[in-house]
Structure 1
Amino acid sequence: MEDSEMVSDENNTRDDVSIQIEDADDTVVSSIGNKLESIAPLSSERCIYRIPQLLRRFNEAAYIPCLISIGPYHRGKESLQAMEQHKLRYLRTFLDFFPNKSLQDYVKALRELYERARQCYAETIFELGVDGFVEMGVDGFVEMMLVDSCFIIVFALKKCHWLGVSNDPIFETMWMSNAIKLDMILLENQLPFFVIEHLLHLACHDSEPRFNILGLMRSHHFFERFYVKTYTDIVPKHFLDFLLHCFMPSSPNGLPQGNGWWEVMPSATELHQAGVKFKVGRSRSLLDVKFSKGVLEIPVLVIDVVTETFFRNLIAWEQCQDLTNPYMISYAVLMDLLINTPNDVSLLIEYGIIKNWLGDNEEVCLLFNKLCKDVIMGDSKMYFSSLCEDLNAYCEIRCHEWQATLRRDYFNTPWKIISFFAAVILLILTLLQTIFSIKH
């Protein structure tokens, strides 16, 4: 009897444990189910990202706006609050300059774009609420789109002299407008381009002149500060994408030649010692680097305080896409290969290829040496692979190095050239005298 009671107790214990496990399983299943339901589906519209931590560790400041927040990622930051009043002033200027539509018309139009615009942002968007940061709602997002879009439009109109700038603090100081333009090219500080274009089209619909934002930028060289000499006709996803397209080759001839592999090659000093001559390229594109008949032609590059921010954000934008031909990464890698030491920088400065406004050649060297740290090449192709192959092949021919040594050591000044030929003439005369003496 006691044995049967013990067996019954054991069975009851097992049943209780089984029920507890099932309850625990149900809790886990419910928890996972809730998490799965809360995941938003990924959109093909995604084009505005937060910079991956892997890329930002070498220079965090290169990705963060210093003056103004555009878009939601940096909205509400205390360090950027001073510009919020300027944004509202520009909104009022926008409404006065385009009086055919009301504030309500613009809000209604942007609310219709909410879903598409929200899908352009790859990250969850937060805003500062009463109890701290909370996920941004529809109203907050629409307000942000309107205020920031109007600021960009009015800023462009003022920059291009369609609107007056008197009594405007942004244009009364030397640094503010340039700082705003720099903030406008940061990957984390973007608005979808179609939002700005739609708002401007709506504002100009029943009035003259009819503006478009790209037209303003083309006609007044808005981004010339960032090495842009020619402007693309491609409608971009945002301003940083616009800059990237301005550098892309416009024809299939611009695609990488050779095997497309990521090549290594000698530095500028080593190339010079091997007989390669350097020349300033006259092209309007940074990518138009050429090597022909022993001459390496490189377009001039001005290095200043914005150069690193410019390159880092373009490289980050390329890294956030699945590109076969990452042009700016290829250019940065090429410059990194050319520049290993401050002596390489000095050589490129000597030939007018680099204009160093930073002052310190060591800084320029470190800039390019760190620019592509932690950049993932993947299956992409190097735009300059054929160029690297040609330079490597040229350096393997020893006579080129001998000729360079001869020019460098014996023909680098007029006096050395005269001395060399005088020595040759003296040697010939001595030889002739010796032969004449032997015969007689």
Structure 2
Amino acid sequence: MAETEIVSDGNNKRDDVSIQIEDAGDMLASSIGNKLESIAPLASERCIYRIPQLLRRVNEATYTPRVISIGPYHRGKESLQAMEEHKWRYLRIFLNHFPNKKSIQDYIKALRELHERARQCYIETIQLSVDEFVEMMLLDSCFIIVFLLRVTSDDLKDSNNDPIFHTMWMSQVIQLDMVLLENQLPFFVLERLLQLAGPDSKGHETDIRGLMKSTFMNVFMENHTIDPDIVPKHFLDFLLHFFMSSSLNNLPQDNAGCIVTHSATELHQAGVKFVVGRSSLLMDVRFSKSNGILEIPTLNIDDRTEILFRNLIAWEQCQDLPIPYIISYAFLMDCLINTPEDVSLLIKYGVIKNWLGDNKETSLLFNKLCKDVCMGRSNMYFSSLCKDLNAYRKISCHEWQATLRRDYCNTPWRIISFIAAVILLILSLLQTIFTIHH
């Protein structure tokens, strides 16, 4: 308390002041106590985050939905209201698509049972009533499912009359909005609705994983599947597991905390040979110290690349991962690419397919991709590979051999000329020696 001793001056004024101070102290303590009690415990389910301002300020547009809000974070934004009518239309299509014809009450009941768990997936306290939250989950989930079905199958024949698919751009932008970290629904909500819906008209269960993979087929590679034991937290997490499912144990990790200290052009001048990786999986980057071959899977660069990478990186930043694989890949490419000339070199050898058309824009993309991204070098997945590249660059004979191949032996005629010059040099040397001795 602020005051406990009472001193009387004969008219009890001091008593009044003391009591008032004591009351004020009690009120503050009570207020603080109430606030402490009102703090909700941190939920273990939380997996849908706001983008940290440190990352958002680098390129806010890559984290912001342009057409549709999914989940509560961007719900109600005026710029996204045009899609709300489509959500109701897609809900009606969903209810009529499955033969068992579950009622709307069945789906609402199922989502009510999940709503507390679903709320806990969001890092922020969601200021929606139970009914509002359940309605949002129902509309957004059914929209996603019907949208994926229309992208991947011919079952919904009236898609040609759908304004979303009747334009060249809208479905593409919706797909991009679906990969934003702030625009996610819990994966278990989608799975529960499809489980309740039952098989389609052909008797097949609708597999949400298969629908997602088929929709983003150009991101995934043939014969590449996600471990069935892995349960994604949401769609962006599903994409992350696809990239992480490559042969991640092929490279020995010594946690050396090493990064590549030379660009692609400098490494090429030192004798490193860039080739397209035998595997098409993103993380399968390999370097052979014996022959200086650096294998990198082909990466398609287009308007979607930055959005996808930035949101995957943000998702990794929001987790406590022993090794952030996407961030490691982005750091590696940032080290290799410093200038448009580096991009040109990687395009020449098939490592990059640049659909942006501007090599400068592509180099800036990678140079800024890891800006303000936090990662200890000891966590970098490619530490051993970077260490080997740096060591290879330091060996002088590798650079001499590369210079010889590049400047003197890059065409058959130059090889012949070089051999002739060497023979003449040897003959001249022998003649000089013979002359001296005789």
TM-score (normalizing by structure 1) = 0.90
Structure 1 segment 41-440 matched on structure 2, within 5 A: 41-98=41-98, 99-125=100-126, 135-161=127-153, 162-164=155-157, 165-204=159-198, 208-218=203-213, 221-229=214-222, 230-232=224-226, 233=228, 234-249=230-245, 253-254=249-250, 257-292=253-288, 293-378=291-376, 381-431=379-429
Looking at structure 2, the residues matched to 117 and 373 of structure 1 have their Cα atoms a distance apart, in angstroms, of 32
State which drifts further: 169-178 or 405-414: 405-414
CA gap of 1:250–1:421, structure 2 versus 1, over 3 A, is closer
Q: Percent identity?
A: 73
Q: Which residue of 2 aligns with 1:130?
A: none
Distance in 1 of aligned mates of 2:135 and 2:252? 44
Query: Residue 282 of structure 1 aligns to which amino acid in structure 2?
Result: R
Could you tell me how far apart the structure 2 residues matched to 1:254 and 1:12 are? 84
Alpha-carbon displacement from aligned partner over 1:226-245 (angstroms, at most 9, x marks no partner)? 35552303221110000000
Farther-moved stretch of structure 1 (373-382 vs 44-53): 373-382
The one-letter code matched in structure 2 to 1:102 is: S
Q: C-alpha displacement at 1:186, in angstroms? A: 0.7
Contact map agreement 2:260 2:336 (CA 8 A) in 1: no
**1:257 Cα deviation after fit:** 1.3
Q: Is the 8 A contact 2:275 2:293 kept in 1?
A: yes
- Using the TM superposition, give the Cα deviation of residue 173 of structure 1 relative to its aligned residue in structure 2, in angstroms: 1.4
Q: Which secondary structure does the structure 2 equivalent of 1:69 belong to?
A: coil
Q: Which amino acid aligns with 1:278?
A: F
- Match of 1:174, SS state, is coil
Residues 249, 255 of structure 1: 8 Å contact kept: no
Q: 1:259 and 1:45 mapped to 2: Cα distance?
A: 30
Inter-partner Cα distance in structure 1 for 2:256 and 2:435: 65
Aligned to 1:36: 36
Q: For residue 3 of structure 2, what is the aligned residue in structure 1?
A: none
5+ residue gaps, structure 1, are 1-6, 126-134
Q: 5+ residue gaps in structure 2?
A: 1-6
More displaced stretch, 137-146 vs 162-171: 162-171
Kindly provide the amino acid, as one letter, of the partner of residue 115 in structure 2. Answer: Y
Letter matched to residue 311 of structure 1:
F
- Cα distance, 1:367 vs structure 2: 1.1
SS of 2:333's equivalent in the other structure is helix
AA aligned opposite 2:113: E
Partners of 1:349 and 1:298 in 2: CA distance: 12
Superposition TM-score, scaled by structure 2 size: 0.91
Letter in 1 for 2:186: P
CA distance in 2 between partners of 1:90 and 1:225 (Å): 25
Count the aligned residue pairs: 423
Residues 354 and 319 (structure 1), Cα distance of their counterparts in 2 relative to 1, 3 Å cut = same
Task: Please report the RMSD computed on the Cα atoms of aligned residues, expressed in angstroms.
Answer: 2.2
Per-residue deviation, 1:179: 1.1
